[in-house]
């Protein structure tokens, strides 16, 4: 199992703009490409423009990677992400989100380490009541620059169950497979993973009373 906790607070600036701050920590969350096998803690913020089911935005994130369970800091990453996604909901019990991301990572001295390009498809199908079947596939290519110039190509799939407790809290248990091809021989790998997460999403609606600020 891989414990992980994420928190997000979202504010609606206008009818088609939102901003959020978020924090998370634990082992690398299932469904993402891990940069290590131990724990991490990150904070960040985003700004998103919405056009109905289509959205695009930018986010900034600062991440610390630790040895073992929040031991000594082993690495620091600062990420700038530009992203877009489209949500298709043919009926209330099925939703499919496709997304693409372009990212730049810098180290603690703000020296650029890599540029990444990714795509992802997420599918959620309601089974019964609060139970959902979830599945995802993802692809990311990373071009490393500087003293560690090279390239990684990573492909991942996962599936599992989600239990929606309420609009703000949900729990997941997932299993997945990831393949990593790299110009760095030590990074090439194939692995299977299993884990669980509890996700909290608190939405602070902007007041809309006449005269409010």
Return the bridge partners of 195, or none: 174
The pLDDT profile of the chain, 213 residues, written as one tens digit per residue, is 556 777 888 888 878 999 999 998 888 777 777 776 788 899 999 999 999 999 999 999 999 989 877 888 888 999 999 999 999 999 999 999 999 999 999 988 889 999 999 999 999 999 999 999 999 999 999 999 977 789 999 999 999 999 998 887 888 888 999 999 999 888 888 988 887 777 776 655 544 433 433
pLDDT score, position 54: 97
For residues 103 and 140, the answer to whether their CB atoms sit within 8 Å is no
Could you tell me the domains of the chain?
A: 4-204 (2.40.160)
pLDDT score at 80: 97
């Amino acid at each position: 199992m891989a414990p992980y906790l994420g928190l997000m607070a979202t504010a609606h600036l206008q009818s088609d703009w939102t901003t959020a701050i978020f924090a998370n920590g634990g082992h690398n969350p299932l469904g993402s490409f891990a940069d290590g096998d131990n724990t991490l803690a990150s904070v960040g913020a985003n700004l998103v423009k919405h056009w109905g089911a289509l959205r695009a935005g930018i986010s900034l994130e600062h991440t610390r990677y630790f040895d073992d369970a929040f031991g000594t800091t082993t690495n620091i990453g600062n990420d700038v992400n530009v992203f877009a996604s489209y949500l298709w909901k043919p009926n209330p019990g099925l939703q499919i989100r496709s997304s693409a991301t372009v990212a730049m990572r810098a180290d603690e001295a703000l020296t650029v380490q890599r540029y990444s390009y990714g795509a992802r498809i997420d599918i959620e199908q309601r089974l019964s009541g609060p139970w959902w079947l979830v599945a995802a596939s993802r692809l990311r290519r990373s071009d490393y620059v500087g003293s560690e110039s090279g390239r990684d190509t990573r492909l991942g799939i996962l599936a599992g169950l989600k239990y929606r407790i309420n609009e703000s809290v949900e729990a997941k248990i997932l299993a997945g497979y990831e393949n990593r091809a790299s110009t760095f021989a030590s990074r090439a790998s194939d692995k299977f993973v299993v884990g669980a997460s509890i996700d909290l999403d608190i939405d602070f609606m902007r007041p809309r009373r006449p005269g409010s600020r």
